[in-house]
Amino acid sequence: MSATDPKPSRPDESVSLLSPSDEGYMRLALREALCAFDQGEVPVGAVVVHQGRVIGRGYNLREKLADPTAHAEMLALTAAAQALEDWRLEECTLYVTLEPCPMCAGAIVNSRVKRVVFGALDPKAGACGSLFNLVQDSRLNHRVELTSGVLAADASDLLKEFFRSRRKAQSENAK
C-alpha cells in the first residue's frame, strides 16, 4: 500500500484453509476489516475458528447500526455462538486485527474463548496486554491464551490509512 493509493489493496484472496495458520486466519480477519473500511467504519475485523472452520465473522458496524457494542469481536462472537448453538466457545480461537478493548475482552472471557490472536496493539484501549490484560487476569473465572503481533503491520497500516483519509476528507470539507 502506498501513500498515494486512495485505499489499501485487499489481502491475498488465495488463503488456504487446508493448512490452517494464524497468518491465514488473520488474513481473513483483515478481509473483514476491509469491509468496515469500505463502509466508512474503523477497519477492524474478526473471525472465530472452531476445529479448523470459520464459524463467526464480524467487522465494526458501530456507525451504521448506531450501536456502541457493534465491535468486530462482539459480532463475530455472536455469530459463532449461534453457529454452535451454545454461548460457550471453549474450543474456539478468535482472530482480530486490533487488540480487543475492555468490553470485547469481557465478552471473550465470558464466552470462554480458548485463544485470542490479534494483530496491532492498541495502547489507548487495549485490554489484552497494552493497557490492561483482562483476558489473563487471575481474579476472573477464565483465562485466555494470547498471541499478539500476527500481521500487525498490515492491520496497523490499514488503520493508519483509514484515519489519514478521514483527516484529509475533513480538511477538504473545511475549505
HSE on the CB side for 15, CA within 13 Å?
18
The single residue of 13, 23, 32, 73 carrying the catalytic annotation is 73
Handedness of CA 32, 34, 36, 39 (dihedral sign): negative
For the record, the C-alpha cell of 41 comes out as: 467504519
73 is catalytic: yes
Q: Give bridge partners of residue 146 from the DSSP assignment.
A: 116
Handedness of CA 132, 95, 64, 3 (dihedral sign): positive
Handedness of CA 139, 144, 150, 156 (dihedral sign): negative
Residue 3, sorted as left (phi over 0), alpha (psi -120 to 50) or beta, turns out to be alpha
Q: Which residues are catalytically annotated?
A: 73
